Structure 1
Amino acid sequence: MAVTLTQHLADFTAATSYSDLPHEVADDSKRVLLDSIGCALAAVDEPRGRIAIEYAGLLGGTDESATILGSDKRSSVFGAGFANGELINALDFDAVLPPGHVAPYVIPGALAVAEERGASGKELIAAVALAHEITHRFGKSMDYLRDTKDGKTALSPVVGFSSTIFGATAAIGRLRGLSASTLAHGLGIAATSSPVNAHRAWIAHAPSSTAKYHLQAGTLAQTALTANWMAELGHRGDLQVLDDAEVGYRRFIGTGRWAPENLTDGLGTRWDFPAQHSYKPYPHCRILHAPLDALIEIVETHDIKPQEIESIRVWGEGWVMEPVWLSREVEHVHDAQFSIAHGIAVGAHRITPGRGWQDPDLVFGSSVRSLMDKVTYESHPDYVTAIEANPSARPTRVEVTTRGRTYTAERSFAKGSPSLDLATYATTDELVGKFRHNASGVLSEADTDHAVETLLNLETATDVSTVLRALTPSGSRR
């Protein structure tokens, strides 16, 4: 019998170790760990973060096997996996990689299992790399949010990030040392346990659900953990689920585009995800990052105060003319992460990006609210042509009218993304600066220094549990 796609992915997962990773792959895996953990630390007092930590307590009972990032509370592997997924994504400050957000789905289960088992830093890095590569390959094989057709944007009626279940499951299984055969069954179980792709409904409704994308990161992390445990205990998964295009995963997850050759082409010899990984300098939906880059250049260069602004006109991504982004109803701090008008208004206030962007006094304050009324947004006329030539392209124009003049700035790519413009690349020093800002008020300065040092040199750690235990307010005393 021919090797199925599920078995192929399992074989790759079981056979890959840290020594197989090119330098840039290992490096980017450490970078995304640093960035994701920092995002989680910044979110511990946010509404979604508080809910996640409380729920983890209900899940864990007296089990304290795993760290909840930024919290002095601990939980079971399943409880910490849930909480950390929600924390990483709470501020919408975490990295993005096609099919969309990946880190909050694939990292939390790996962290919890690595801690419970006392895995080495090298083992964790390899698991994170596997998770991102497998997930990105699914992103290349299925419908994507930024697809185009016949010269127009083509937002599919069914989209979402549910395919991250495969990367999440692979990472956990690798850390648990499962055989390729057991891993294949785990992946098969994960496929048929996968949450539905309900993202399109979330986009269409405003104010949006605070269960972001209609796919809670914590829930997916738990599903991946469950799939591994069930396979290890003896359940058999559907090994043909990826090969059967008529009734298999492609059909029931709702994707119209299915290019399974992207799952295996060059797998094990070519790593694609680092070249597509984007890091977010602003705690706002990625669609607004290029406009924010341009806007902030204008207001800082000309020292423009918010109250001086007469109007802000923005041309940007064309596929976002949808309720969740066009909405001006900001009823919850969560809504501030997606409203274009609100995000532009906040950006004009020149506040350091971080949890401060969701301070209720700012979010609901009169200065931001009044400036929202002066913001307009349209699709950039070159948008489709640009992204068809380069998927990372984000053609943008911003005009700010003030003091009887109109100031203009343009962008082709957003800061934080690998692109033809090397200046947009997020350097490790920039990610460290972001981490330090996110950790402020949660970790001491000494503990923050220690966290940066250990995470950037994670390959030297013999037991990651000591690293993770230090990522709490009382970490240095454990």
Structure 2
Amino acid sequence: MTTTTEIAEFVQTVEYDALPESVIDQLKRRLLDSVGIGLGAIGEEPVTAVRDTVTREGGDAASLWAAGATASPAGAAMYNTTLTRYLDFMDSFLAPGETPHPSDNIGTIIAIGEAVDATGEELIEATAVAYELQGELAWNAPVRDRGFDHVTHTVITQAAAAAALLDLDHEAIRDAVGIAGTAHNALRVTRTGGINEWKGIAAGNAARNGAYAALLADDGMEGPKNLFEGQKGWQQTISGAFEVDLDPACRRVEDTMAKRYVAETYAQSAVEGVIELADLNDIDHEAVTEIHLETFHGAKLIIGGGEGDRHEVETKAQADHSLPYMLAAALIDRQMHNAQYEPDRIQSSDVQRLLRTVTVEEDPTLTERFENGEMPAVIDIELEDGTGYHVEKDAFRGHPTDPMSWSEIEEKFHPMAANVYEQEHRDQIIETVKTLGSKTTADLTALLA
């Protein structure tokens, strides 16, 4: 049975010098990708609301990215994580029963790292801890079908990563994880029915809570050390029985996908397939009478109508969790990026008409393929003259079976950060992340302040 002791032992075992080079390389890619996505969210209204809240609370220990302001470590963790999460462009684990976003940990790691003046190696170690623990919880302790949101995992991984950076002793790590996992368990209602903007902020809230739990433990606060196995504890009430196998080499990061499109995780293959069909055949969207998608259980459940009608789309929060909207916009615009979530684009008559032609069907065979490591999608587009187009996808560029190269991560980074920093500044951020093992957290945050 998994215990806080097991997690504490793991946190204390992870060492930079023992991490495989391939793992360190992937962790750096995840860091750069997350920073770029975060910079792309600067100025979004819900993000600004979080910034205003955490700056009003005060604090000067950690920087708010590209805001020219500071906050407490927990406040900066919330704001910076909100940045990395809000656009829905973050990375994901593709576990059968859960799809968390381990990049949700990056904002906290950098905030706590800055507060304690961590080295670049220590920053990478903490990132490795978070990705490994989040992956193991996703694969072995899914909570979605039991009514809890995946940030219920994230608050635990946030606490563990923050504990690593704070250099907490064994018992204090147990306290931090116990506080985080007992006090902060988010409900799945965040992503069901009529979705609102909290969907993009929930991870930031988990970041604040996880960071704060570790800070409390650092100051001597005790937590429920029997979090998982105790009477009415986490396993009894939230997850059911489970075991994790935490590897100090932290290879779970190699199972992470990076998004090619600004779209919900499970939409990536389908969006790529629709764009390929539209480009290859120069499809006139006005002639389309049906877009039919066959997909796997999770996609149908979350973004295909299983947890509420996804044809009623009025806001970004609804659009990026609607397969009908994403497929319609991708076919018309041959792209799925920030521009496709502007209010005028969402409300435009062409995309509103086309999304109502989209049908989504769950195929048990595709579910089995997803559970075996693919992200399958079968797409058929029919035109009013009877012409049909068909494509089948096993995965997409950025899937663990077809990962993005460094150059592709950089190509993704530049347009996201271009509204904030000039080319030379962006290049400095890239170089700092690539050489982070010989840098400090301060070197990175100086470029993000």
TM score, norm. by length of structure 2: 0.91
Structure 1 distance, partners of 2:119, 2:284, is 50
Residues 285 and 337, structure 1, Cα contact 8 Å, conserved in 2: yes
Name the counterpart of 1:318. Answer: 297
Give the stretch that moved more between structures: 132-141 or 32-41: 132-141
Indicate yes or no: 2:80 matched with 1:92.
Answer: no
Indicate yes or no: 2:59 matched with 1:74.
Answer: no
Give the stretch that moved more between structures: 226-235 or 83-92: 226-235
Residues 131 and 171, structure 1, Cα contact 8 Å, conserved in 2: yes
Report the alpha carbon displacement of residue 466 of structure 1 after superposing the two structures with TM.
2.6
Structure 2 distance, partners of 1:338, 1:171, is 29
Residues 65 and 77, structure 1, Cα contact 8 Å, conserved in 2: yes
Name the counterpart of 2:399. Answer: 417
Report the alpha carbon displacement of residue 203 of structure 1 after superposing the two structures with TM.
3.9
Describe the shift of the 1:361–1:163 C-alpha distance in structure 2 as closer, same or farther (beyond 3 A): same
Report the alpha carbon displacement of residue 144 of structure 1 after superposing the two structures with TM.
5.4
Indicate yes or no: 2:185 matched with 1:196.
Answer: yes
Q: How does 1:120-159 map to 2 (within 5 A)?
A: 120-143=119-142, 145=144, 155-158=145-148
| 1:251 equivalent among 224, 229, 236 | 236
Cα deviation, 1:1-57, whole Å, max 9, x if unaligned, reads xx9821222122123221121112211111111111111111112222222222222
Name the counterpart of 1:464. Answer: 441
| 1:400 equivalent among 366, 381, 398 | 381
Give the stretch that moved more between structures: 360-369 or 3-12: 3-12
SS at match of 1:224: helix
Describe the shift of the 1:309–1:425 C-alpha distance in structure 2 as closer, same or farther (beyond 3 A): same
Q: How does 1:38-437 map to 2 (within 5 A)?
A: 38-59=36-57, 61=58, 63-97=59-93, 98=95, 99-143=98-142, 145=144, 155-158=145-148, 160-193=150-183, 195-199=184-188, 201-206=189-194, 208-212=195-199, 216-244=202-230, 246-252=231-237, 254-256=238-240, 258-260=241-243, 262-264=244-246, 267-268=247-248, 270-319=249-298, 320-321=300-301, 322=305, 324=307, 326-350=309-333, 352-388=335-371, 390=372, 392-402=373-383, 404-419=386-401, 424-437=402-415
SS at match of 1:211: helix
Structure 1 distance, partners of 2:364, 2:177, is 42
Question: Percent of counterpart pairs with the same letter?
Answer: 23
Report the alpha carbon displacement of residue 343 of structure 1 after superposing the two structures with TM.
0.6
SS at match of 2:353: helix
Residues 377 and 393, structure 2, Cα contact 8 Å, conserved in 1: yes
Higher helix fraction (1 or 2) = 2
Structure 1 distance, partners of 2:308, 2:254, is 27
Give the stretch that moved more between structures: 42-51 or 350-359: 350-359
Describe the shift of the 1:360–1:386 C-alpha distance in structure 2 as closer, same or farther (beyond 3 A): same
Give the unaligned 5+ runs of structure 1. Answer: 146-154, 473-478
Structure 1 distance, partners of 2:126, 2:148, is 29
Describe the shift of the 1:39–1:131 C-alpha distance in structure 2 as closer, same or farther (beyond 3 A): same
Cα deviation, 1:242-271, whole Å, max 9, x if unaligned, reads 233x5221123x224x222x245xx32x53
Name the counterpart of 2:417. Answer: 439
Residues 285 and 331, structure 2, Cα contact 8 Å, conserved in 1: yes
Give the stretch that moved more between structures: 314-323 or 297-306: 314-323
SS at match of 1:26: helix
Describe the shift of the 1:448–1:456 C-alpha distance in structure 2 as closer, same or farther (beyond 3 A): same
SS at match of 1:330: coil
SS at match of 1:397: strand
TM score, norm. by length of structure 1: 0.86
Structure 1 distance, partners of 2:441, 2:291, is 48
Describe the shift of the 1:273–1:110 C-alpha distance in structure 2 as closer, same or farther (beyond 3 A): same
Residues 119 and 441, structure 2, Cα contact 8 Å, conserved in 1: yes
Aligned residue pairs total: 441
